[in-house]
Amino acid sequence: MSSKIKALHQQAQKALNKGLYQQAHQYLISILQQDKYFADAYFLLAMIASSHHNLTKAIELIKQANTLAPNNAEYLSQLAKHYALDHDHVQAANFAELATNLPIKSSLTFDTLGVAYSQMGLHNKAVIFFKKAVAINDGNPNYFFNLGASLKFTGDFKGAKKAYEKTISMAPNYYKAHAALTSLGGISIDSNHIPQLEQLFSKTQQADDRLYIGHALAREYESLKIFDKAFHYLDTAKKFKLQQFKYSIDEDKALFKSIENHFKSSGSPQTQGFETDEPIFVVGMPRSGTTLVERIISQHSEVTSAGELQHFGLLFKKMAKTTSNRVIDADTVAASKNINFEVLGKSYIESTRAITGKTAKFVDKMPLNVLYVGFILQALPKAKIVCLDRNPLDTIVSNFRQLFAINQSYYSYSYDLESTTEYYLLFKQLATLWLALFPDNFYFINYEKLVNDPLNEAQKLIEFCNLPWQEQCVNIDQNSYPVATASALQVRNPINNRSVGNWKKYDAYLESVKEMLTSRIPT
């Protein structure tokens, strides 16, 4: 390496670390003009592409770097991470394994592998690499935050608490860590973070930061049964965020109407799908008991939990060949007539193979796959789909209280109680249509009946899935699969009905919600 290229390389790295992407890009192009075989220039260009969320370009550039400098653990781990972020878990698992077979000394590489496995839903593996990362470098708050998340998902709540506390001790303004710590519970009059959180809330300028702290305060005040304060912080944070982006429930109304019209005109699928009875989809409104049902089914010896997969929707979008920003919209629904559904079904099954294939069946628990039910059954005509039906008020309030993935358009409805109510009504109408069209493949299960009579309801559920009954299915607290959802704590306990009627805590704020439900739901 010439001294000039070495200097440019160092300048590019410094610029990249400071977020000066245009400057870094210029240095790297200058390097490649002098030496087109300089592997790390391609790798750093990939990191610039990644920072701009261009995963396809990032993967292409990392592969080029890896071709020029093979057996580089950093390059391979980043390939694993980026394939995982791009929801290609099979390729991600392949490159992660290649990286782990090499000697690794870098904490960043260990953390990258942890992120890759975490994105694949393999949190037990992720924990191993995150622990190695913090063992080498215990001064990086991001490493401890990542460790805390995977420890929580694997059920090690004590370990997760320590990791989040370590994160906050190093970075007091790590807002996401405050929300994560509070989600672990254990809040009381004598043990809470309210003074610290209120101070942070008063200083937050960014909508996302305010959301994290607002939700943390709401959770802590709710634990202390001070519901007016809880609602105040929740509502304030959500309204502030709502001002930052343009959303109208009319967008979702148009989507639901396009799906309903598509299937009302075409009826049941006529196309030839991929013949397999492996997948069981658990769908419904978020926060309606989907994780509970998934735990019951995956406790069966013949079933694997695949977690919440976005694979079907992303493959559907790719094959529809639409370029709109949303994964599913009216244009994409219309373009579905060009999809080869047999290929879609086969591609979906193959995309799950980083986790599935070791048992007769697997569960994909992505609640809003309810939008795709008709398309799923075109692609996978033998699939079983279980849909949760929960008390409307509990569903609506629980969605409003939940901090979903920030800036995902799927959940834009949840920043406002009225929009959440409208979305619930749209969901209920669509789910009713699915039941009418696909009575053999689509099954409604009522949350309240399930938690009040778990044995009887679980037996009917397992029968619908074409599985023999096993007594262990109701012992969800013994289920060892990771849980990467908001229900991570609840489902580590035996089935109970403690969440029934939670809406009553916020009854004072639900007058308009009740009026909307009364006028729209037949009695």
The three-state secondary structure class of 468 is coil
Work out the average pLDDT over 299-327: 94
For residues 297-304, give the mean pLDDT.
97
Within 10 angstroms of residue 243's Cβ, the number of other Cβ atoms is 9
Coil, strand or helix at 287: coil
Looking at the predicted structure, is the pLDDT value of residue 284 above 80?
yes
Q: Say if residue 403's pLDDT is above 70.
A: yes
Confidence of residue 372 (pLDDT cuts 50, 70, 90): very high
pLDDT tens digits along 414-431: 999 999 999 999 999 999
When pLDDT is averaged across residues 60-69 and rounded to a whole number, the result is 96
Cα–Cα nearest to 303, from 365, 380, 386, 362: 362
CA distance 155 to 471: 23
pLDDT at 405: 84
| Tokens found for residue 413 | 């409805």
* Residue 364 DSSP SS3: strand
Do 389 and 292 contact (CB within 8 A), yes or no?
Answer: no
Model pLDDT for residues 80-135, shown as the tens digit of each residue: 999 999 999 999 999 999 999 999 999 999 999 999 999 999 999 999 999 999 99
Q: Which residue has the higher pLDDT, 120 or 408?
A: 120
Tokens for 417, please give them.
Answer: 């109680």
The answer on pLDDT for 269 being more than 70 is no
Q: Say which amino acid occupies 470.
A: Q
Q: Mean per-residue pLDDT for 168-175? A: 96
**Token digits of residue 320:** 């529809």
Measure the CA–CA gap between 245 and 440, rounded to whole angstroms: 41
Percent residues over pLDDT 70 in the chain: 97
Is residue 523 pLDDT above 50, yes or no?
no
Query: For residue 499, what pLDDT band results from cuts at 50, 70 and 90?
Result: very high
CA neighbours within 13 Å on the CB side: how many for 282? 29
Position 271 scores a pLDDT of 67
Q: Residue 411 corresponds to which tokens in the numbers above?
A: 């959940």
Place of tokens 């529809």: 320
- Distance CA(163)–CA(74), nearest Å, equals 24
CA 104, 107, 109, 114 dihedral sign is positive
pLDDT in tens, 209-239: 999 999 999 999 999 999 999 999 999 999 9
Q: Tokens 């001070």 correspond to what residue? A: 226
**Alpha-carbon distance 239 to 241, whole Å?**
5
**CA gap 390, 394 in Å, rounded:** 7
Which position has the higher pLDDT, 244 or 45?
Answer: 45
Q: What is the mean pLDDT of residues 324-344?
A: 94
Structure tokens at 485: 């959802």
pLDDT of residue 479: 81
What pLDDT is attached to residue 488?
A: 64
pTM: 0.91
d(CA 85, CA 70): 22
Backbone angles phi, psi at 363, to 5 degrees: -110, 130
Using CA atoms, how far residue 321 sits from 315, 327, 372, 410, in Å, is: 10, 11, 16, 20
**Residue 522: pLDDT above 60?**
no
Mean per-residue pLDDT of the chain: 94
283, β-bridge pairs = 387
Rounded mean pLDDT, 237-265: 93
Give the single-character DSSP code of 415: G
pLDDT at 198: 97
Q: What is the pLDDT of residue 101?
A: 95
Q: Which domains does the chain have, with CATH numbers?
A: 249-495 (3.40.50.300)
Q: What is the tens place of the pLDDT at every residue in 449-497?
A: 999 999 999 999 999 999 999 999 999 988 877 776 656 677 678 899 9
Buried b (16+ CB within 10 A) or exposed e, 390-405: bbbbbbbbbbbbebbe
Local structure of 383: helix, strand or coil: coil
